[in-house]
């Protein structure tokens, strides 16, 4: 059986596991009354979503874990991407648990999240600098050349991991947005990993693709469950580690352009308001700006998915 067929099997298995686990776990989340709280300063159209079960990311993490551990492709790289996915997912889970179960609206303090994120990110960065045949070099898009970051490699990679994870977290604000965008991005990395010979990472990426696709059954508009920080942090950790282990760190802003735009909109909004007292966007992250501009939620999601698909095609071209 060739490697491409194994990827299809991983996608299909993860997809069906997500469906089955979702049918089992989502009613359980409802009984626990772990409903999403809607921010008072958020769009008024979101108030109707209050009480929708959250922490659904558990479903995706479980499906990915089962699929990859039974794939027969176990190696150190696979353990690192699983470590990143589960590690960041655990931080998100603790944050969700404090907010929705213990009813403490603020969840983990910012510095507590950051300590956990930096710790995981540093481990990934050090591992890659020691294990990769490219050492501290990263591939430059379009040029097909590597740049050696030297002693800056570990802090740079750690920054990328933390930034990517939080950017994915910010993207998770509309039904099906983060799961759909990540489905497309993970499909890109799955094909690239297969082509570059990173078979364990290709299998993991395929499992991630299947899990996101299956989760859309419950998370597409109108969402029956939200992934919560449990899911969005796990997805961010997964995407960041996949790219880094293939030395494709600089491709994240390209194929993950939507993540980047969402995070940048928040940064611009905060800086502008604090320095001039004026807001650049009607609301940040970016998807809320379009909502308040009159776009329907489903239109925003489809447009952002489409943009991601185009960016991934550009990403493929940049590797030639």
* Residues of each annotated binding site for Mg(2+): 169, 229
Residues making up the annotated binding site are 169, 229
| 291 vs 298: CA distance, rounded Å | 10
Give 68-71 contacts, CB < 8 A, sequence gap 24+. 68/10, 68/203, 68/204, 68/207, 70/13, 71/6, 71/10, 71/200, 71/203, 71/207
Residue 35: beta bridge partners? 53
| 12 vs 14: CA distance, rounded Å | 6
Question: Judging by beta carbons within 10 Å of its beta carbon (0-12, 13-18, 19+), is residue 58 exposed, middle or buried?
Answer: buried
Give yes or no for a contact between 214 and 17, defined as CB atoms under 8 angstroms apart.
Answer: yes
The single residue listed with the structure tokens 């995407």 is: 239
Give yes or no for a contact between 174 and 249, defined as CB atoms under 8 angstroms apart.
Answer: no
**DSSP state, residue 140:** E
């Amino acid at each position: 059986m060739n490697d491409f067929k194994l990827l299809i099997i991983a996608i299909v298995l993860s997809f069906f596991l997500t469906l089955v686990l979702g049918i089992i776990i989502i009613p359980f989340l409802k009984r626990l009354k772990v409903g999403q709280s809607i921010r008072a300063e958020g769009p008024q159209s979101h108030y109707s979503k209050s009480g929708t079960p959250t922490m659904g990311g558990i479903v995706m993490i479980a499906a990915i874990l089962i699929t990859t551990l039974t794939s027969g492709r176990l190696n150190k790289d696979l353990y690192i991407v699983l470590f990143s996915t589960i590690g960041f997912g655990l931080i998100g889970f603790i944050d969700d648990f404090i907010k929705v179960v213990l009813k403490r609206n603020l969840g983990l303090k910012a510095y507590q999240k950051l300590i956990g994120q930096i710790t995981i990110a540093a481990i990934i960065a050090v591992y890659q600098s020691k294990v990769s045949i490219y050492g501290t070099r990263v591939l430059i898009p379009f040029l097909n050349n590597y740049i050696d970051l030297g002693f800056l490699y570990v802090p740079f990679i750690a920054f990328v991991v933390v930034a990517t994870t939080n950017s994915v977290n910010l993207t998770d604000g509309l039904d099906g947005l983060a799961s759909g965008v990540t489905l497309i991005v993970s499909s890109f990395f799955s094909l690239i990993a297969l082509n570059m010979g990173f078979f364990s990472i290709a299998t993991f990426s395929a499992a991630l693709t299947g899990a996101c696709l299956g989760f859309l059954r419950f998370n597409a508009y109108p969402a029956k469950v939200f992934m919560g920080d449990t899911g969005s942090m796990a997805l961010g950790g997964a995407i960041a580690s996949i790219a880094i282990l293939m030395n494709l760190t600089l491709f994240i802003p390209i194929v993950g352009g939507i993540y980047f735009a969402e995070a940048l909109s928040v940064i611009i909004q905060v800086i502008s308001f604090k320095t001039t007292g004026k807001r650049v966007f009607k609301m940040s992250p970016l998807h809320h700006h379009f909502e308040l501009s009159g776009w329907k939620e489903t239109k925003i999601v489809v447009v952002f998915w489409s943009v991601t698909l185009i960016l991934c095609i550009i990403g493929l071209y940049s590797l030639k």
